[in-house]
Amino acid sequence: MDMLGQLLPFVFLIAIMYFIIIRPQQKQAKQHKEMLENLSKGEKVVTNGGLIVVIYKVEENFFTAKINDDVIVKITKDAIARKYEDEA
């Protein structure tokens, strides 16, 4: 009984850390992965570097992205931070 009383606070602390830290991060990572899988040609995205680009071509591990009319670059899927929504 005494052993259970000593372990209970640690179990409680681990449960709190799971629900406050670990679970939300896993949920966010899953949403980001789904967003990357659903991106298609013509969508605007923001890269981790802060560039707003238009997806030009979808490949297995890369996107070909158009920065402007003259510049087309190839970027990894990991470099995409989020979709870009126009504020207008």
pLDDT digits 0-9 by tens, 7-16: 999 999 999 9
Residue 86 has pLDDT above 80, yes or no: no
So what's the pLDDT on residue 10?
92
So what's the pLDDT on residue 43?
94
pLDDT digits 0-9 by tens, 26-38: 999 999 999 999 9
Residue 77 has pLDDT above 80, yes or no: yes
Average pLDDT over residues 67-88: 89
For the whole prediction, is pTM greater than 0.75?
no
DSSP helix/strand/coil, 15 = helix
